[in-house]
Structure 1
Amino acid sequence: MLLHSFSVYKWLSSLLRSLSRCARNFIWSGDVTSKKFVTVSWRQICAPKNEGGLGLRDLSSLNTTALLKLRWLIITTDSPWSIYLREHFKLHGRLYSCSYKRSSIWPGIKSILHILFQNCRWVIGNSSTTSLWVDKWLDKPIVDVVGATEIALSLSRTKVSNIIRMGKWVIPSIFSSTFPDLTNEILEMPLPIDEDNDILIWEVSTSGVFSFSDGYEIVRHRFPVKSWASIIWHPFIPPRYSILVWKILFNKLPTEDQLQRRGILLAPICQLCYKNSESIDHLFSSCEFAQCAWRWLATQFGTIIPPTGSLSDIWLDFLSKRFSPHLRNVWLASGFFLLMAIWKMRNKVKFEGKPPSFSRLCRSTSTWIRQVGALTPGHVRGILDRQLLVSLGISPNSSKAPSIVPVLWHPLLFLGSK
């Protein structure tokens, strides 16, 4: 029943915000009533992963898409209910009454009509149902090009079939003299060769049929594509590690400086070195504990990481290492684990009073490297990379030998040849 309501009625904005708030609280805290202080915006979370989101769906956009689907079915199908609603609401192309109608579903249908019209187009058949002036059968509806002129008002009920005679375009002289560019565009359009009904197509889809996914892509909020999105999400990296890196990239971890900005009174001291104020950049890059951890990890892979620099510098240098695919994937997964290990150790110091242990961090990271190495895809190129993997306790993935397939060829036989 709830799904039916969502697909038929336009829900109140306050209700959608309340439900989105519950979903947001549950994702961040596991409790719909508990709100976290430092979070990524819900709109960003609902973006696709390549735009920096988590790929969730926004409820308001889903509701709008469901109403688009309903409107599409009303105008394109001939079931008894769609015929009834077309006549009841006078929904014939873009010609519809804007007046109030006693119906609980009309506000929702009316609210999305402009979205539907912007992304639909009429393919002319017998041209008897398509409005010459207000329907989109050219690149743009004629009324959108010329505006509501006196001629437009006089032709508002004219069908495309009214300017076709004996298989030819017959355009009124007053129209052709007033709008020569539109006249040329009409004359360049090929005339229909059959008497089928006019067809409404969804321009966004290659099939011409409205789909829920295409509709959602139209109405959702868009963000710029993030270059790092393809780097942090991998099947061989646990999602919680990827999400931690995702939070770091958005600067949305509850470090001391972030909490202080939100009005929480505390001394923003780093929990691992007790020398500087705690921030994301300090905790994971310039802190002495973090620098030792990065140097140790680089040594395990036979490389180096600059001893000083911001977190973005470490990130860029980390990604620039030229390893073969298998070793590169292990290197990437190990870096993600190290970030998680630093964050966990910081939390143990802050909330459990346990002192930071560099040796414990190294042991847990070494164990992780051996475990993830057996699950990481990719092959190894070169003796050095192979030796590095073996030294890490990982069995290298060898590339598959090329398979030789016999090919038999016979000369082509043409008619008349012997």
Structure 2
Amino acid sequence: MFTSLPKREGDLGVRNIECLNKALLAKHAWRLVTGENSTFCQIFREKVFGRSTLMNVLAPRITGNASWGVKSIFHGMTFILENISWQPGTNSNLNVWTSKWVGTRTPEPKGDFLDPEFNFLKDLRIRDLCLNSGGWNQDLINMLFDDESSKRILAIPLRINDGEDEIIWPFSSTGVYTVKSGYGLLFNDLFMRRGTSLDRSRLNQGRKNFCGKRLWHLSIPQSWKILIWKILTNSLLVGGEFVRRNLTWNPLCPLCRSTRESVEMVDHLFKECSITARIWAGSQLGINSDQAYNLEVGDWIVNWIQYLRTLNDWQIRVIQFSAIIASIWNLRNNVVFRGEIFNPKGFFSAYNQVVTCAMKGFVERVEANVTAHGNLDSNDLTDIEGDLVRNGHPVYVTGGFGSCSLVRVMVDASWEKTWQAAWGWVVYDEHGNVIFKGGEKGRAESPLQAEALGVLKAIQWALGNNFLHVELSSDCLQFVFQCAGLGTRHYQTKGVLEDILCLTPSFHCLCFSYACRKNNVEAHLLARRAMTMA
């Protein structure tokens, strides 16, 4: 079970079959729920649901004579329906009380509004909560829902342009179901049901960080990585471990067998054994393992690899160090299971062959990377564009270079976990003089959405003041990437970004650029000041 934990938690990351199977089935269910028009979905809907609408599909009923395939897909659909959410569009027809549109749940009513005497409210639609002039009816929302639900609802941005109600998967950034996000949700739920903590006490923080961030990126064979991982997690089966588990086994070290104190534990086998100490001292690294008698072997290995990584030829040194560990383990197994006797000359001859083979694999991987990056493909071009954006180069959405009324608008946003948000703008003319400063307070669902709304409000301000040649700068690199068409659109900013793109044709020239925080301090202070306003 522990081998299924992610590598960042210090384990192997082996997929749990039960969770993976359900996540894959849920992918088919997602295609049915979202109305995908693939051949499979069309045939499945026609055969199972006939002329039923999408809302009928969202309330599946499995009959006794349903096939095994249909039952399997509905098994995944149950998981999908429990976790999907709705993103309301313009003039939304979703039921306020039964649809999951406030985060991942339905809003909580204030008082007894769902009692029989308030039957006229049971068919309340989301569009009924909006004002005719646009925006949410704040007084009505505060009257119908509890405080937390009211804040969440008021933080949902209403589209300027027409948009339909959309089903989203809130556990992925794009709002589209992925097997990876579904597996993660199912796996965490499995651990919660079994009452197992994801934090494992047998790994200290140093080993845990090494297993999660360093070990699996080393340029050594995969079998060596797994062996080192077993040593670090005390999961390697040696003689002492067999005895500890009340299994019949000779507890003495198979290499030295000198005294009763030479019980084969991991620390003894790889560091304290007299044979092992001679191997470390006679290797190319010339390590004296006796000096680290007060360190556990796992911490000793981590310290040595981290030290070797500071050297110029660290890749070669790490291969040599790891090869010694693998050779000691192979020697131990040959002695235990094949009855061989330790021969220093034969040992180091086999060790040199192992190192040579690992070095050859390392060189081949380096040459393959050089060859792959020697030719410039579309992915490389995207990386180059990304580097230009990071360095502050503007990305033009409309028009090109212009000089008429050219202004630069610096935007920043502030956000708090109570879904409060605020925005600040500083507008400069073509000579770098400040011509306007302003701030505004509102609501947003996330920091990224707050940045997006800040950009939208700045664009609306520029149009309202007849500035048609604008460079808009933000310190949110992720959203600037989305405006430049380089990043994946987040579902929380998708509608805001579409509203921004609908306004771009009104400009003669509009471009977006990234400004680091130190160049955007004034807009940041204005946003913080607006946050403190009543």
TM bucket, shorter chain: 0.5 to 0.7
- Structure 2 residue aligned with 1:390: none
Shift in Å, 1:156: 4.6
Q: Structure 1 pair 196/320, CA: closer, same or farther in 2 (3 Å)?
A: closer
Taking the aligned partners of 2:57 and 2:46, their CA distance within structure 1 comes to: 16
Distance 2:174 2:230 in 1: 39
Residues 100, 88 of structure 1: alpha-carbon distance in 2 compared, 3 angstrom cutoff = farther
Take 1:325 and 1:212, find their aligned partners in 2: how far apart are those partners? 41
**Which residue of structure 2 lines up, in the alignment, with residue 59 of structure 1?**
17
2:177 is aligned with 1:210: yes
Amino acid at match of 2:171: V
Aligned to 2:164: 197
Alignment pair present for 1:133 and 2:116: no
**Equivalents in 2 of 1:83, 1:167: separation in Å?**
42
> Larger deviation: 77-86 or 214-223?
77-86
Counterpart-to-counterpart distance in 1, 2:95 and 2:297: 60
For residue 231 of structure 1, what is the aligned residue in structure 2?
A: 214
Which of 122, 127, 134 aligns to 1:161? It is 127
The CA deviation string for residues 102-146 of structure 1, in whole angstroms up to 9 with x for no partner, is 445458636764565435342323311x22113232335344x34
Quote the Cα distance in structure 2 between the aligned partners of 1:245 and 1:259.
19
Q: What secondary structure does 2:324 align onto?
A: helix
Does structure 1 residue 361 correspond to structure 2 residue 319?
Answer: no
User: CA–CA distance in 1 between the matches of 2:28 and 2:161?
Assistant: 29
CA distance in 2, matches of 1:336, 1:148: 66
TM-score (norm 2): 0.53
Deviation at 1:259, TM superposition (A): 2.2
Give the alignment of 1:311-322 within 5 angstroms: 311-321=297-307
Q: Give the 3 Å change call, closer, same or farther, for CA 85–109 of structure 1 in structure 2.
A: same
Partner of 1:118: 83
2:32 to 74, 86, 92: 74
Q: Deviations over 1:73-115 (max 9, x none)?
A: 2221164444776789997399848x87544545863676456
Sequence identity, in percent?
22
The code of the aligned residue for 1:118 comes to N
- Residues 284-295 of structure 1 mapped to structure 2, 5 A cutoff: 284-295=270-281
In angstroms, what is the RMSD of aligned CA positions? 4.0
Contact 2:255-2:335 at 8 Å conserved across structures: yes
Task: Kindly provide the amino acid, as one letter, of the partner of residue 307 in structure 2.
Answer: K
2:102 partner amino acid: L
Task: Give the direction of change, closer, same or farther, for the CA distance of 1:188–1:86 in structure 2 (3 Å limit).
Answer: farther
Q: Does structure 1 residue 245 correspond to structure 2 residue 228?
A: yes
Q: 1:174 to 1:244 in 2, by over 3 A?
A: closer
- Cα shift at 1:272: 0.6
| Change over 3 Å in CA distance of 1:58–1:164 after alignment to 2 | same
Matched residue count: 335
- 1:1-150 to 2 correspondences below 5 Å: 43-77=1-35, 79=37, 80=42, 81-82=44-45, 92=55, 96=59, 101-102=63-64, 103=66, 105=70, 109=74, 113=78, 116-128=81-93, 130-139=94-103, 141-143=105-107, 145-146=108-109
SS in 2 for 1:228: helix
User: How far apart are 1:209 and its partner, in Å?
Assistant: 1.8
Q: Which of residues 247, 252, 271 in structure 2 aligns to 1:264?
A: 247
Q: Mark the runs of 5 or more structure 2 residues left unpaired by the alignment.
A: 192-197, 200-204, 364-400, 405-534
- Do residues 179 (structure 1) and 162 (structure 2) align? no
**Offset of residue 348 of structure 1:** 1.9
Q: Which of the residues 256, 259, 268 maps onto 1:273?
A: 256
> Whose strand fraction is larger, Structure 1's or Structure 2's?
2
Q: Judging changes above 3 Å, is the alpha-carbon distance between structure 1 residues 320 and 174 closer, same or farther for their aligned structure 2 residues? A: closer
Contact 1:251 1:280 in 2 (8 A): yes
**In structure 2, what is the Cα distance between the partners aligned to 1:281 and 1:236?**
25
SS at match of 2:209: coil
Give the TM-score normalised by the residue count of structure 1. 0.65
Corresponding residue for 1:35?
A: none
User: How far apart in 2 are the matches of 1:205 and 1:123?
Assistant: 18
Cα-to-partner distance string for 1:43-73 (whole Å, 9 max, x where unaligned): 3333443333434322111122123223322
Q: Which residue of 2 aligns with 1:301?
A: 285
Higher mean displacement: 44-53 or 65-74: 44-53
